[in-house]
């Protein structure tokens, strides 16, 4: 059995995060020792590691909740899990595309800058007037 601090260390998660996951129902309520400490078993450690890995891969908490629920049904089809993973992959690819556009825009702004005075600074000018952006899709780059 692990205390909350040891659980956090073993899973690479901070104690407030563990408490938050308990609060929102991703982790179960656990019993307490005679000294009133929460004590966690390996099942909770494994669940916490699952959550951490899913979050590291960018899955939103509601998807993590659904994935945990699905993982509790080992005899069911994997189709629902695949659907969630495909959706996350599309989100990651979309984010990469937006980041590549941002990278290109920043590089373009810097390359056009004469590095003279702030009054003539192209970066300041473009930041002040979004119409000057080459990739000026407000909805896609505002994330």
Question: 129: which residues sit within 8 A by CB, 6+ positions away?
Answer: none
List pLDDT tens digits, range 80-130.
999 999 999 999 999 999 999 989 888 887 787 666 777 777 777 777 877
CA gap 82, 88 in Å, rounded:
10
* β-bridge partners, 2: 40
Model pLDDT, residue 136: 54
Q: What is the mean pLDDT of the chain?
A: 87
Do 60 and 87 have their domain in common?
no
- Domain ranges, residue 84: 79-141
Do 54 and 89 have their domain in common?
no
Do 51 and 13 have their domain in common?
yes
Helix (H) and strand (E) counts in the chain: 7, 0
């Amino acid at each position: 059995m692990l205390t909350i601090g040891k659980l956090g260390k073993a899973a690479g998660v901070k104690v407030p995060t563990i408490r938050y996951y308990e609060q929102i129902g991703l982790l179960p309520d656990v019993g307490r020792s005679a000294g009133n400490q929460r004590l966690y078993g390996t099942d909770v450690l494994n669940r916490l590691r699952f959550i951490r890995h899913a979050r590291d891969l960018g899955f939103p908490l509601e998807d993590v909740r659904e994935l945990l629920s699905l993982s509790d049904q080992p005899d069911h089809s994997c189709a629902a899990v695949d659907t969630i993973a495909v959706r996350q992959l599309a989100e990651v690819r979309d984010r990469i595309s937006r980041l590549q556009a941002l990278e290109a825009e920043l590089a373009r702004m810097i390359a056009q800058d004469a590095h003279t005075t702030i009054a003539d600074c192209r970066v300041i000018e473009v930041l002040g007037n979004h119409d000057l952006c080459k990739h000026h899709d407000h909805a896609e780059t505002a994330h």
